[in-house]
Amino acid sequence: MTDKKSEDFIADSQFEPLKPSAKFAKSARVNDDMLFREAQNDRLAFWAKMAKNLKWNSKWDRILDDDKPPFYKWFTNGKLNVSENCLDIHINNGLGDKKALIFEGEEGDTQVLTYKQLLKEVCKFSNVLTKLGIGKGDAVTVWMPMIPEAIIAMLACTRIGAIHSVVFGGFSPEALKDRILDSESKMVITADGANRRGKVIPMRNAAEQALEECPSVEKVIIVKRTGTSYKTKPGRDLGWSELMADANDRFEPVNMDAEDPLFILYSSGTTGKPKGILHSTGGYLVGVNTTFRYVFDHQEDDIYWCTADIGWITGHSYIVYGPLSNGSSTFIYEGTPDYPSRDRFWELVEKYKVTVFYTAPTAIRSFMRWGNDHVDKRDLSSLRLLGSVGEPINPEAWLWYHEHIGKGKCPIVDTWWQTETGMIMITPLPGLTPLKPGSASWAFPGIEVDVLDDNGNPTEAGQRGFLVIKSPWPAMLRTLHGDPERFENTYWKQYPGLYFTGDGAWKDKDGYLWIMGRVDDVLNVSGHRIGTMEVESALVEHPAAVEAAVIGKVHEIKGHAITAFVTLKEGYEGSDELVQELKSHVGKKIGAIARPEEIFFTYELPKTRSGKIMRRLLRDIAEQRDLGDVTTLMDPQVVATIKEGYTEK
Residues that bind ligand WT7 in the complex, under the rule CB under 6 A? 267, 313-314, 389-392, 414-419, 440, 501-503, 515, 517-518, 524, 529
User: For residues 84 and 56, what is the distance between their CA atoms, to the nearest angstrom?
Assistant: 10
- State the greatest distance between any 2 C-alpha atoms of the chain, in Å, as a whole number: 72
User: For residues 273 and 174, what is the distance between their CA atoms, to the nearest angstrom?
Assistant: 13
CB of 440 to ligand WT7, least distance (A): 5
CB of 424 to ligand WT7, least distance (A): 8
User: For residues 259 and 278, what is the distance between their CA atoms, to the nearest angstrom?
Assistant: 11
Q: Is the dihedral of CA 363, 366, 372, 378 positive or negative?
A: negative
CB of 459 to ligand WT7, least distance (A): 17
| Residues shown for the chain | 649
Question: 126 vs 267, which CB is nearer to ligand WT7?
Answer: 267
Question: 134 vs 533, which CB is nearer to ligand WT7?
Answer: 533
Q: Provide the angle, in degrees to the nearest 10, between the axes of the packed helices 576-589 and 532-540.
A: 120
H, E, C per residue of 31-100: CCCHHHHHHHHCHHHHHHHHHCCCCCCECCCEEEECCCCCCCEEEECCEECHHHHHHHHHHHHHHCCCEE
Backbone φ and ψ of 196, nearest 5° = -140, 110
User: For residues 603 and 621, what is the distance between their CA atoms, to the nearest angstrom?
Assistant: 15
Question: 113 vs 593, which CB is nearer to ligand WT7?
Answer: 593
CB of 203 to ligand WT7, least distance (A): 23
Cβ pair 162, 139 in contact under 8 A: yes
Q: Give the three-class secondary structure for 562.
A: strand
Q: Give the three-class secondary structure for 622.
A: helix
Question: Beta 385-389 vs 356-359: how paired, if at all?
Answer: parallel
CB of 490 to ligand WT7, least distance (A): 12
Cβ pair 194, 145 in contact under 8 A: yes
Question: 416 vs 491, which CB is nearer to ligand WT7?
Answer: 416
Question: 83 vs 524, which CB is nearer to ligand WT7?
Answer: 524
CB of 552 to ligand WT7, least distance (A): 11
CB of 522 to ligand WT7, least distance (A): 8
CB of 520 to ligand WT7, least distance (A): 9
User: For residues 476 and 74, what is the distance between their CA atoms, to the nearest angstrom?
Assistant: 9
Strand partners, 188: 141, 220
CB of 627 to ligand WT7, least distance (A): 25
Question: 507 vs 518, which CB is nearer to ligand WT7?
Answer: 518
Cβ pair 301, 355 in contact under 8 A: yes
User: For residues 611 and 490, what is the distance between their CA atoms, to the nearest angstrom?
Assistant: 21
Question: 207 vs 295, which CB is nearer to ligand WT7?
Answer: 295
Strand partners, 500: 468
Whole-number Cα distances in Å, 66 to 225, 262, 497, 498, 568: 46, 20, 11, 13, 51
Cβ pair 169, 210 in contact under 8 A: no
Q: Which residues contact 244 (CB under 8 A, 6 or more apart)?
A: 121, 124, 125, 128
CB of 360 to ligand WT7, least distance (A): 8
Locate the DSSP E strands across 368-488.
385-389, 412-415, 449-452, 465-469, 479-480
Question: 280 vs 359, which CB is nearer to ligand WT7?
Answer: 359
Question: 148 vs 552, which CB is nearer to ligand WT7?
Answer: 552
Alpha helices in 134-223 (DSSP H): 148-160, 173-183, 204-211
Question: 392 vs 446, which CB is nearer to ligand WT7?
Answer: 392
Backbone φ and ψ of 647, nearest 5° = -85, 130
Question: Beta 237-239 vs 219-223: how paired, if at all?
Answer: parallel
Question: 314 vs 479, which CB is nearer to ligand WT7?
Answer: 314
CB of 92 to ligand WT7, least distance (A): 32
Question: 88 vs 534, which CB is nearer to ligand WT7?
Answer: 534
How many other C-beta atoms are found inside a 10 Å radius of the C-beta of residue 473? 26
The identity of residue 497, as a single letter, is: G
Q: Nearest Cα to 477, choosing from 271, 259, 250?
A: 259
CB of 266 to ligand WT7, least distance (A): 10
CB of 126 to ligand WT7, least distance (A): 28
H/E stretch holding 639 reads helix 636-644
Question: 237 vs 503, which CB is nearer to ligand WT7?
Answer: 503
CB of 77 to ligand WT7, least distance (A): 30
CB of 421 to ligand WT7, least distance (A): 7
Q: Which of the 8 DSSP states describes residue 162?
A: P
Question: 392 vs 406, which CB is nearer to ligand WT7?
Answer: 392
Question: 392 vs 472, which CB is nearer to ligand WT7?
Answer: 392
